[in-house]
Structure 1
């Protein structure tokens, strides 16, 4: 075999190795990143006992240690009617009304147009207003309709529907309602809606993959390390509030079709969204700080970049500016007795 032939063979081998290497690199680059396999769990008898600890699920910034976090508010009662955000109509009755009779008289729907509608009774035993319950007796009632929500202010048609429903309930329990003046309540509704519209905030970050895409399992595994849990909708994860029953602090979403794919390992996700509904979350939860820390941690762990909705990279100093503006917003909401995360704020900003 001549030297030329040997040289051609060597060159062909080099080229073939290069093509195989290129194909392997390309395949690896295009294949979505996969979740790591769960570590093997040793039998309990073979492990040393471990003292249980509470992990926050995110990296605390300087100055945000546990000792610096203000205490969370006590659990609130179930939201009831309130003159601040509801148009109220007191209903006088001739004598005590049973809870069973009140429940039977309630309208089939609890809305007047797009606004929540409710009936409360004055419990004869406790002297507290509450939603009618079987086994209780009530000495008075009040009907209410919410003045504004994110759909808009209460209008004349919705107020009229409120009057019709409240009157029907009053008739059924032998009560006499006293309705507020419609134009006054509609005016209050517009003013509340104007304030709410000017002080609403829903923030969002977008995490975009720098190179390889992500599989659903990879996203879920990285988010779970920060405390996120699966939501009710495929492609949605939430960071739960510290107080059970409160709305989630943060919501992480990605492509629903990818989450429902027959083979999730082959579903490619190139971006996920991280959002915060400001009026729904107590400022004591430090939601924006945790949003920034979660976004940065996810970006570092998943080889991604944090951007706004327009694809512009968000720098740390930009996050600081947003955080300062949010503090002013919190103060404004509190000055109106609509503190972020309160029951009243959740109702108005919904």
Structure 2
């Protein structure tokens, strides 16, 4: 009996260790996916769901103010990568019912990256969102030398891209390490992005990029053309200030009534039937025919939507999110998102609310639509097409 008791105690102890190990493993997995979901939604954005209170607490998101002083202060150069939209169409009369889900969305067609263009000097190519340097050589620059230059594209805190041409009459083309296997180039353009969602490029990084360009040009016996660093940094700061004004994410929450809850199984069925696909980071994405994300659907609570746990998941809310500067024709896309939010609200028997858990009325939705239109009009006025290549670079 004594030996049997010791065996039982040992088995119980081993069982407890196994259970604790499983719990710890699940906790680590949950934490990893939660971190992935937070990264998928990006940094905190302004929220355009309007507040009814006269004042806003310090930690609340503030409605963006699109003042004319910013427009006057920040005069950007034309965006050569995206077609300019001369004017927006007159707003159509909003129907009483939401737009039909299967109505196709007409996206603004974008020019391919680095449009082929004939130029005789570096000065003929400008870009408002890059610090552009030029290298001119009388002979072809060896591929081995150029590879060393391309390998430093991650050394300056912001994206770097290079273009090249083989003669003054040739087209400019993008150069990467993978494509650098041709007969060489006589002229190069280096483009260091001035800002993104992490903020403006630093003056130190600009100086290091210029120094690298000048040293490379000297090494290959070429001439470097590098604009003034202080002026470039001032442009970067102004660009970042402008982007902050239009960097808005619209969120629509659907919460359960009283003490009710939503099941993960039903949410997944509704999401997949509506065209959403679940991403590895625990968020559903609704994409267009080009696989670009139009809006997303996540858990209102911290836990991400994981394929392995959706069947057993219980939550008290879900959130639809639209990243305004990264979507073309935002008002149309917003209409689709609202329509789906209404479908989910009905099917889940929930309540559509703002971030203060106040019911979201038709007038509130109209105000959001107006704000969205104003933001995207402001971007177009600065020749940054919402959802276009430049916007996707700036708001990454």
CA distance 1:258–1:236, change in 2 (3 Å): closer
1:171 Cα offset (Å): 4.9
1:228 Cα offset (Å): 0.7
Residue 338 (structure 1) aligned with residue 373 (structure 2): no
Residue 91 (structure 1) aligned with residue 139 (structure 2): no
CA distance 1:99–1:341, change in 2 (3 Å): farther
2:274 to 202, 219, 226: 226
1:61 Cα offset (Å): 7.3
- Between the aligned partners of 2:349 and 2:98, the Cα distance in structure 1 is 27
1:97 Cα offset (Å): 2.8
RMSD (Å) for aligned C-alpha atoms: 3.0
Residue 119 (structure 1) aligned with residue 119 (structure 2): no
1:322 Cα offset (Å): 0.9
Residue 295 (structure 1) aligned with residue 341 (structure 2): yes
SS at match of 1:339: coil
Aligned to 1:176: 223
Q: Which runs of 5+ in 2 are unaligned?
A: 1-94, 116-124
Maintained 8 Å contact 2:330/2:376: no
CA distance 1:67–1:228, change in 2 (3 Å): closer
For residues 17-43 of structure 1, give each alpha carbon's deviation from its aligned partner in whole angstroms, at most 9, with x where no partner exists.
Answer: xxxxxxxxxxxxxxxxxxxxxxxxxxx
- Between the aligned partners of 1:236 and 1:219, the Cα distance in structure 2 is 12
For residues 211-239 of structure 1, give each alpha carbon's deviation from its aligned partner in whole angstroms, at most 9, with x where no partner exists.
Answer: 53223222111111221111131x21100
Aligned pairs, how many? 287
TM-score normalized by the length of structure 2? 0.65
Maintained 8 Å contact 2:325/2:395: yes
CA distance 1:300–1:70, change in 2 (3 Å): closer
Q: Whose radius of gyration is greater, 1 or 2?
A: 1
1:154 to 201, 204, 211: 201
- The 4+ residue runs of structure 1 with deviation greater than 6 A are 65-70
- Between the aligned partners of 2:261 and 2:380, the Cα distance in structure 1 is 43
TM-score normalized by the length of structure 1? 0.72
Aligned to 1:196: 243
1:280 to 297, 319, 326: 326
What is the correspondence of 1:1-350 to structure 2 with a 5 Å cutoff?
A: 64=99, 71-74=106-109, 76-78=111-113, 83-99=127-143, 101-113=145-157, 115-123=158-166, 127-132=171-176, 133-136=179-182, 137-171=184-218, 173-210=220-257, 211-233=259-281, 235-244=282-291, 246=292, 248-254=293-299, 257=303, 259-260=305-306, 264-283=310-329, 286-350=332-396
1:103 Cα offset (Å): 2.7
1:166 Cα offset (Å): 2.9
- Between the aligned partners of 1:123 and 1:203, the Cα distance in structure 2 is 46
Maintained 8 Å contact 1:100/1:135: no
- Between the aligned partners of 1:214 and 1:264, the Cα distance in structure 2 is 11
CA distance 1:237–1:106, change in 2 (3 Å): same
